[in-house]
Amino acid sequence: MGREEAGRESKETMADSREVMNIRQASQYLGVSPDTLYKYVGEQKIPAFKLGNRWRFKKSRLDQWMEEKSSEMEPEAKRKPKAAGKAAGQV
């Protein structure tokens, strides 16, 4: 691993380990573009707060939000096969 790669890796690790992230760090952490993250913030879909005139994101709140969102999706996926079975006359 070259010096440049090592520097990139430590920056990513540092951003991921920070409790408070800026929009760029949070967008990298979540794997979405900064524009998408701004949209989510504007629609109040994601937990964020302003520090001065800049948006900030707490890693622990983002982790909690992602956990809640993934939990919301699981029951939906589990219900669909049951509903399909009932429609076909199976119990």
- What domains appear along the chain, each with residue ranges and CATH number? 3-87 (1.10.10)
Query: How many whole angstroms separate alpha carbon 34 and alpha carbon 90?
Result: 47
> What integer pLDDT is reported at residue 72 of this predicted model?
84
The secondary structure of residue 51, as a DSSP letter, is: E
d(CA 38, CA 60): 19
- At residue 55, the pLDDT reads 96
Summarised one tens digit per residue, pLDDT across range 20-57 is 999 999 999 999 999 999 999 999 999 999 999 999 99
What is the distance between the alpha carbons of residues 42 and 59, in angstroms, rounded to a whole number?
A: 19
DSSP 8-state symbol, 47: -
- Is the pTM higher than 0.85? The answer reads no
Give the span between the Cα atoms of 15 and 60, in whole angstroms.
13
